[in-house]
């Protein structure tokens, strides 16, 4: 698919950017050099009449992407999570991108369901509505199961969406190579890596079994969380192009008038949505990365219901501890400790000065703490923090960018419910509890236990590994044996003995 024919797609893209006025916005966001601007203009301006007009009421960038179709809309959504690539201003525009397209017919949706599930729709569902939501990749129908009478949501991929995305993604790869060729200075933005990341995200969303799996894992992690619930996946009625889950019945979290009319406490809801996000990010390392008002409802009993699991964030355990210590250090205004954590984690090169870095962090934190408590923003703090760490040579970490982006969205949701919310007061119990469990003596014992289990698992193989090493080395001439060979053998044997003894003592203590 990749080849010169994709130039035609890029010409149409450039023409649409020119016609909608988005060309300068995009080039400025990427800080494009003159050579790249020349190529972009060459592909766009002469063919401006070929470009789509789009909706004049939209900002230029969102207008252009919406006019170009599903793949471009999704690309804009993905780029909205990467302000490090497109800049804060464009990321903000893309964040509010309306992911809505004309729906396809209910007859086509039913045909897809029948092909995927292997049964006539009338045998599976006693009711099957017109589309209730239509997005770039799929649309949703409300239905009722014929066997149980349960109301469900049925998500169906658009017909032919895989081929359409494949064609546009091929053109994106060509564009990235053009940027690499004509703008060596822009390689710091890693355009090919950005397209590869987008390609991976889209491939995941084009297989609804993966979204079902994400929802199932998220549910397993959060099933005991008070005041929070998820619709249940119906695995027997889900497949690659169809996903069925329980109907989320409730008041949209962004409709304050309806929430007040239903008697819900918006102050409590604002604190809870912030706390559940932090709890999932820190405790589980697996969080809903698209927690805007459109994906959240409030049940009749006051529980927050989350749905749409196409974008999920993952953070490994070590990074979670670092992130929590950074937040905790800022909460206590201990900038020296925050600086030390960055150096210990290897985020900042060791040749930098920790004291100077601590002073730079103080310049980030103090102005924020000087604000009224209700105006303090954790998302703004993280944004300033990344600016400082970039100046000290910290490389971009995609998982933290996604975390920061979601934090900003969640803060916006919380403040929409309660403009006077104190972000630090709401977050402090979650962060403090995580620090207590994950950084103190209890965490040390947990880490040692995990280490002992790993050593025990490999214990039966250690004698064989040592024996093979001895045999292999015995076959070498003495002059060919590496220096410190016998020292290595001795250390291996001692470590094995210590590990085994520690594991035995630990088991004895636990039992």
Q: Of 89-93, 213-217, 323-327, 460-464, which has the strongest mean pLDDT?
A: 213-217
Q: Give the least confident one: 110-119, 328-337, 465-474, 475-484.
A: 475-484
User: pLDDT tens digit string along 289-316?
Assistant: 888 888 899 999 999 999 888 888 888 8
Q: Give the least confident one: 207-211, 321-325, 499-503.
A: 499-503
Q: How many CB atoms lie within 10 A of CB 351?
A: 6
What is the pLDDT averaged over residues 377-400?
A: 67
User: pLDDT tens digit string along 469-501?
Assistant: 667 766 655 555 555 555 555 555 555 555 554
What is the pLDDT averaged over residues 136-140?
A: 88
Contacts for 480-487 with beta carbons within 8 Å, 24 or more apart? none
Sorted by where each begins, the domain ranges of the chain are 6-100+162-205, 250-439, 455-510
Give the pTM.
Answer: 0.72
CA–CA distances in Å: residue 76 to residues 52, 96, 152: 17, 10, 30
Can you tell me the distance from the alpha carbon of 85 to that of 154, in angstroms, rounded to the nearest whole number?
Answer: 35
Q: Which tops the pLDDT comparison, 88 or 169?
A: 169
Helix, strand, coil share of the chain (percent; to 5): 65, 10, 25
Rg (CA), the chain: 27
Query: Does the active-site annotation cover 290?
Result: yes
User: Catalytic one among 290, 316, 351, 372?
Assistant: 290
CA–CA distances in Å: residue 205 to residues 65, 156, 241: 19, 12, 10
Measure CA of the first residue to CA of the last residue in the chain; give whole Å.
Answer: 62
CA–CA distances in Å: residue 136 to residues 76, 77, 235, 300: 11, 11, 24, 30
User: pLDDT tens digit string along 31-84?
Assistant: 666 766 776 776 666 777 777 888 888 888 888 888 887 778 877 776 765 665
Given this model, what pLDDT does residue 509 score? 47
**CA-wise closest residue to 149 among 236, 233, 215, 246:** 246
Residue 510 pLDDT exceeds 50: no
Q: Which helix (H) or strand (E) holds 180?
A: helix 161-182
Given this model, what pLDDT does residue 48 score? 75
Chain mean pLDDT for the chain: 79
């Amino acid at each position: 698919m990749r080849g010169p024919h994709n130039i035609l797609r890029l010409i149409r893209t450039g023409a649409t950017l020119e016609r909608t006025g988005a060309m300068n916005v995009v080039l400025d966001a990427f800080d494009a050099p003159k050579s790249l601007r020349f190529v972009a203009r060459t592909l766009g301006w002469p063919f401006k009449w070929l470009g789509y007009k789009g909706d004049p009421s939209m900002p230029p960038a969102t207008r252009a992407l919406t006019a170009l179709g599903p793949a471009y809309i999704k690309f804009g959504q993905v780029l909205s999570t990467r302000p490090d690539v497109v800049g804060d201003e464009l990321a903000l525009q893309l964040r509010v991108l309306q992911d809505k397209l004309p729906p396809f017919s209910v007859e086509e949706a039913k045909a897809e369901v029948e092909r995927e599930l292997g049964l006539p729709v009338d045998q599976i569902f006693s009711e099957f509505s017109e589309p209730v939501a239509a997005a770039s990749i799929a649309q949703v129908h409300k239905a009722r199961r014929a066997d149980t009478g349960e109301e469900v949501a049925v998500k169906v991929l658009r017909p032919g969406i895989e081929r359409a995305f494949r064609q546009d993604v091929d053109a994106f790869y060509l564009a990235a190579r053009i940027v690499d060729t004509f703008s060596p200075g822009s390689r710091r933005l890693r355009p090919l890596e950005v397209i590869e990341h987008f390609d991976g995200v889209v491939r995941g969303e084009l297989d609804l079994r993966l979204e079902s799996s994400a929802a199932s894992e998220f549910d397993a992690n959060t099933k005991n969380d008070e005041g929070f619930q998820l619709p249940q996946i119906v695995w027997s009625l889900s497949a690659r192009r169809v996903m069925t889950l329980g109907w989320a019945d409730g008041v949209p979290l962004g409709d304050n008038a309806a929430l007040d009319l239903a008697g819900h406490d918006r102050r409590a809801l604002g604190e809870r949505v912030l706390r559940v996000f932090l709890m999932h990010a820190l405790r589980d390392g697996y969080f809903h990365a698209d927690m805007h008002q459109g994906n959240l409802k409030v049940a009749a009993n006051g529980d927050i219901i989350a749905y749409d699991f196409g974008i999920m964030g993952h953070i490994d355990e070590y990074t979670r501890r670092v992130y929590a210590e950074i937040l905790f250090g800022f909460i206590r205004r201990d900038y020296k400790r925050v600086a030390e954590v960055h150096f210990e984690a290897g985020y900042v090169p060791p040749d930098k000065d920790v004291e100077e870095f601590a002073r730079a962090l103080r310049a980030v934190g103090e102005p924020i703490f000087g604000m009224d408590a209700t105006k303090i923003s954790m998302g703004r703090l993280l944004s300033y923090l990344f600016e400082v760490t970039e100046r000290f040579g910290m490389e971009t970490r995609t998982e933290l960018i996604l975390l920061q982006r979601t934090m900003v969205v969640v803060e916006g949701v919380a403040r929409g419910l309660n403009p006077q919310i104190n972000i630090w007061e709401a977050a402090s119990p979650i962060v403090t509890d995580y620090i207590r469990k994950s950084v103190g003596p209890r965490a040390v014992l947990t880490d040692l236990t995990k280490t002992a289990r790993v050593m025990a698992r490999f214990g039966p193989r250690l004698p064989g590994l040592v024996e093979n090493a001895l045999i292999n080395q015995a076959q070498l001439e003495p002059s060919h044996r590496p220096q410190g060979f016998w020292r290595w053998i001795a250390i291996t044997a001692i470590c094995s003995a210590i590990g085994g003894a520690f594991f035995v003592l630990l088991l004895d203590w636990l039992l």
